[in-house]
């Protein structure tokens, strides 16, 4: 079986490398020629722990190669994984134009039976549209099947998640497609769950929205803690010990960001509304999340009163640790608002600076990108923590205090013990605890 992976972003690269590691012959293709040229030379365009090594090893073994010739790649493949983007559209729904583009390309190049696998996160019923598009545009009477195999990898641990998944959801409507996909995932066969296609598509949106809801729920509880003597970290611990609840995704903070939760939540709200289902539960989840940045900035203002011309250090620009991805990162909103207030920003992130520079170019009077946390802290009137990178947790706070103009920390991820930091002489604000 020859496998094509269309789209070499976070999901496509990991999927391609992972399937090659499972022993398959894979071609990764993308319409961005420059990207493919770089990857073919072994230059991996994203930061994802372990991905470089896995890709290079499998390229060396001859199991994976890359091409910008989408036509040839499709023609050569028996199974095609569509890993293109499904970004948020203007009305909140998923913008499906990349999926449509790929479907037409597949139709044009359908030179034999193929299974087209939706790896991208897509609204329930998308398979219907892919089938219709391919049928409308195909030039031959070759047969094909569409299948859904949503991806659950988490950026930052994507390689391990792909190679050792909790579950592999396979939505199919033919035995032929099912058998081919089961063979592809033979190495982790015990984790396969077979469903119909609508179910598989919905499992992905339902999972992401549930996790988003869990985060907004604990943030709502954090708001209650702020008005009482309760401590959100202890509330979360006490709740999480109940196995029906579980301790994961109960971390109060700046809220969720990234390329998945915000857009998938909005997409599911739109899907439900279009189908006439009341989606208020998820709308509130979204609303609570979008209020986090304001609440955080209010704390900063409480400490500094006027932000104009104040030097603010921001540590952590990516939406979470161990990734360079800044899509929908809470730091973006904070940077915008702080610039709007006239603050002078000193930014630092171990991996995401280059991506952030594209959005907010360096401008020595307003925005400086620093090479360490300490450099960012130097002469700052306050230090904001937006991502819980391990190196921030392990900072030498005595050194930080000596460098800062005012020893004020506003911690959006609750990474420090309030008593410890205050003992060192900091004014310390965090979320949901005194
Ligand atoms: P991405 O933007 O990093 O990558 C998408 C790639 O597709 C880009 O390289 C783009 O050039 C390419 N592309 C677009 N149109 C194309 C076409 N017609 N032909 C060939 N290539 C084309 O996106 P991503 O983060 O990898 O996400 C891809 C999908 O997977 C989305 O639906 C996303 O919701 C889903 N997903 C993402 C994650 C994650 O953590 N990033 C996890 C699970 C699922």
Say if ligand 1 is within 6 A of residue 6 CB.
yes
Per-residue pLDDT averaged across 89-114, rounded?
97
Tens of pLDDT, residues 153-165: 999 999 999 999 9
pLDDT digits (tens, 9 = 90+) for 4-17: 999 999 999 999 99
pLDDT (average), residues 297-319: 97
Q: 367-369 and 382-385 as β-strands: parallel, antiparallel, unpaired?
A: unpaired
Whether ligand 1 lies within 6 angstroms of the CB of 7 is answered as: yes
For position 320, what pLDDT does the model report?
96
Active site residue 260: yes
The pLDDT tens digits for 241-254 are 999 999 999 999 99
pLDDT of residue 364: 84
Instruction: Give the C-alpha separation, 399 to 381, whole Å.
Output: 15
**Mean pLDDT, the chain, integer:** 97
* Tokens linked to 379: 């002469």
Place of tokens 């991806």: 151
82 lines ligand 1 (CB under 6 A): no
Q: Which whole number is the average pLDDT over 341-362?
A: 97
CB 232 within 8 A of CB 218: yes
Catalytic residue chosen out of the listed positions 260, 370, 379, 386: 260
User: Which residues make Cβ contacts (< 8 Å) with residue 179, sequence separation at least 6?
Assistant: none
Closest CA to ligand 1's atom 29:
120
What tokens appear for 144 in the block?
């094909």
Q: Is 123 in the pocket of ligand 1 (CB under 6 A)?
A: no
| Atom number in ligand 1 closest to CA 325 | 41
Q: Is the minimum distance from the CB of 233 to ligand 1 under 6 angstroms?
A: no
Q: Given pLDDT bands bounded at 50, 70 and 90, which one contains residue 286?
A: very high
> Looking at residues 206-224, what average pLDDT do you find?
98
Q: What is the pLDDT of residues 352-380, one digit of tens each?
A: 999 999 999 999 899 999 999 999 999 99
Residue ranges of domains in the chain, CATH in brackets: 2-195 (3.40.50.720), 204-290 (1.10.1040.10), 292-429 (3.40.50.720)
Nearest CA to ligand 1 atom 27: 85
Report the residue among 4, 5, 6, 10 best suited for mutation to probe ligand 1: largest number of ligand atoms under 8 A from its CB: 10
Nearest CA to ligand 1 atom 3: 9
Residue 121 near ligand 1, beta carbon < 6 Å = yes
Measured CA to CA, the distance from residue 69 to residue 360 in angstroms comes to 34
As a whole number of Å, the CA-based R_g of the chain is 23
Rounded to an integer, the average pLDDT of 100-119 is 98
DSSP 117-139: EE-S---TTHHHHHHHHHHHH-S
C-beta 5 within 6 A of ligand 1: no
Whose tokens are 């391919």? That residue is: 134
98 lines ligand 1 (CB under 6 A): yes
Pocket test for ligand 1, best of 83, 119, 133 (most atoms within 8 A of CB): 83
Compute the average pLDDT of residues 182-197. 98
Q: What is the pLDDT of residue 418?
A: 97
| Separation of CA 151 and ligand 1 centre (Å) | 11
Q: Which of 166, 211, 259 to mutate to test the pocket of ligand 1 (most atoms within 8 A of CB)?
A: 259
Q: Does position 415 have pLDDT exceeding 90, yes or no?
A: yes
**pTM, two decimal places:** 0.95
Query: Pick from 214, 212, 384: which is nearest to 315 by CA?
Result: 384
Give residue 230's Cα distance to chain centre.
31
């Amino acid at each position: 079986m020859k496998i094509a992976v269309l789209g070499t972003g976070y999901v496509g690269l990991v999927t391609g490398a992972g399937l090659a590691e499972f022993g398959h012959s894979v071609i990764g293709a993308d319409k961005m020629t420059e990207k493919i040229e770089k990857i073919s030379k072994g230059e991996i365009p994203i930061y994802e722990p372990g991905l470089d090594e896995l890709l290079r090893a499998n390229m060396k073994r001859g199991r994976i190669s890359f091409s910008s010739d989408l036509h040839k790649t499709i023609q050569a493949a028996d199974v095609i994984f569509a890993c293109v983007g499904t970004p948020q559209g203007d009305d909140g729904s998923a913008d499906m134009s990349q999926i449509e583009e790929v479907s037409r390309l597949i139709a044009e190049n359908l030179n034999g039976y193929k299974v087209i696998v939706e790896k991208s996160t897509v609204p329930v019923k998308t398979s219907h549209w892919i089938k219709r598009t391919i049928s409308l545009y195909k030039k031959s009477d070759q047969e094909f099947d569409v299948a859904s195999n949503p991806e659950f990898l988490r950026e930052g641990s994507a390689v391990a998640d792909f190679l050792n998944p909790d579950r592999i959801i396979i939505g199919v409507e033919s035995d032929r497609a099912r058998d081919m996909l089961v063979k592809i995932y033979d190495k982790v066969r015990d984790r396969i769950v077979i469903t119909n296609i609508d179910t598989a598509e919905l499992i992905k949106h339902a999972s992401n929205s549930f996790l988003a809801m869990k985060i907004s729920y604990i943030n709502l509880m954090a708001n209650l803690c702020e008005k009482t003597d309760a401590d959100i970290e202890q509330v979360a611990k006490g709740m999480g010990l109940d196995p029906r609840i579980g301790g994961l995704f109960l971390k109060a903070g700046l809220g969720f960001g990234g390329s998945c939760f915000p857009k998938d939540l909005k997409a599911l709200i739109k899907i439900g509304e279009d189908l006439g289902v009341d989606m208020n539960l998820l709308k509130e989840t979204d609303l609570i999340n979008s209020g986090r940045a304001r609440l955080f900035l209010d704390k900063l203002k409480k400490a500094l009163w006027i932000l104009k011309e104040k030097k603010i250090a921001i540590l952590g620009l990516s939406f979470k640790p161990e990734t360079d991805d800044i899509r929908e990162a809470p730091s973006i909103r904070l940077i915008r608002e702080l610039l709007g207030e006239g603050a002078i920003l000193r930014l630092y992130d171990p991996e995401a600076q280059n991506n952030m520079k594209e959005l907010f170019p360096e401008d020595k009077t307003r925005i400086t990108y620093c090479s360490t946390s300490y450099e960012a802290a130097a002469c700052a009137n306050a230090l904001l923590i937006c991502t819980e990178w391990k190196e921030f947790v392990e900072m030498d706070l005595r050194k930080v205090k000596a460098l800062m103009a005012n020893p004020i920390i506003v911690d959006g991820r609750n990474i420090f013990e309030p008593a410890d930091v205050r003992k060192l002489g900091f004014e310390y604000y965090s979320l949901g605890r005194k």
